[in-house]
Amino acid sequence: MQETVQTPAKKKVVLSAIQPSGTITLGNYLGAVRNWVKMQENEDYNCLYALADLHTITVRQDTATFRKNLYDAYASILACGIDTEKSPFFIQSHVPAHSQLAWILNCYTQYGELSRMTQFKDKSAKHADNINAGLFTYPVLMAGDILLYQADLVPIGADQKQHLELARDIATRFNGIYGNTFKVPEGFIPKNGARVMSLQNPTSKMSKSDENVNGCVLLTDSDDVIMKKFKRAVTDNDAKVFYGEGKHGINNLMSIYSAVTGLTFEQIEHDFDGKGYGDFKTAVGEAVIAELSPIRKRYEEFVKDKAYLAECYAKSDEFANRLAQRTIDKCMKKIGFIK
């Protein structure tokens, strides 16, 4: 009897990128970066991670601050557990093919498609004095980021679904004209990714731009600062820990506590039955401190060692450039450019 030999399944290429706005927040960590670390350990995936610095300049940047933010963000991601030997973590602007493919794809994207992008409308309202062309064509650069590496999967937040759909539409359109060139990517929202809201305005996403500094927990915050921020977190008048409609503050704290401890909402409600919000806020603060403290210590080591950071991104940049060039060469040949 002939034995059937199974061919190992090909690993899926996963691409994720984050903008370098400095050290990351608790929301960045729980919502995305922690999942990056888990995915790099998954044998089913080949993960590629990027610092999307080209996207950042749609908003005017101070040169010195921007450069510092790049180093801070890179060090932060490494501190969270990204291993560049397993998962290349490159800097977008160090791979010229991103800008090159963005221009090409601009010519295969319709004005009407871009004008419907809700993030363009939102950002235009926030930056009314600088509604530049880059802000308008930003989603095409994002599409290029994805298609350049023939990504199978793109972890996304709910607010990025529209941009991924555009990337799929562009890839399908190009393939329809020239034949199979780009892999049409699939998006997925990781099950264990938490959407973290502001501690002071729990109907809004946690952000460093929050007017109230107590609304956002940073990776670089000391243990004392983290605890103070959680003790000042907005709640309600029920004084009972349970997940419910309209309980935005408590729901947010429960989501954070669940993400950090692994406990379900039912277990949390049971554990804090009969206890007040003060006890719960302290418990959430302690759990977050236990999670972030070792990361902060690694970050403080990495950010001081620019030679080490350069070594990490140089190797990753080289790998990314090789992959990207294959796609650019294929794309340009299909169109008819002379090599």
Q: Give catalytic residues, as residue numbers.
A: 123, 205, 208
Tokens of 290: 């236990």
Query: Which residue blocks in 232-305 are alpha helix, DSSP H?
Result: 248-261, 265-271, 277-304
Phi/psi at 201 (5° precision): -135, 80
Q: Measured between alpha carbons, how far is 174 from 144 in angstroms, rounded to an integer?
A: 12
Give the residue from 189, 139, 191 showing the smallest Cα distance to 165: 139
Q: Measured between alpha carbons, how far is 308 from 9 in angstroms, rounded to an integer?
A: 35
Q: Measured between alpha carbons, how far is 332 from 125 in angstroms, rounded to an integer?
A: 37
- Residue 274 backbone class (left: φ over 0; alpha: ψ -120 to 50; beta: rest): left
Give the residue from 106, 114, 178 showing the smallest Cα distance to 144: 106
Which residues does 238 contact at the CB level (< 8 Å), separation at least 6? 247, 250
Determine the angle formed by the axes of helices 161-178 and 133-147, rounding to 10 degrees. 70
Q: Residue 44 to residues 8, 10, 47: CA-CA distances in angstroms?
A: 10, 8, 10
Residue with tokens 């759909």: 165
Q: Contact at 8 Å (CB) between 293 and 218?
A: no
Calculate Rg over the CA atoms of the chain: 22
Give the residue from 232, 263, 266 showing the smallest Cα distance to 249: 232
Which amino acid belongs to residue 331?
C
Q: Residue 303 to residues 68, 70, 92, 134, 208: CA-CA distances in angstroms?
A: 10, 10, 19, 30, 19
User: In 3-state terms, what secondary structure has residue 300?
Assistant: helix
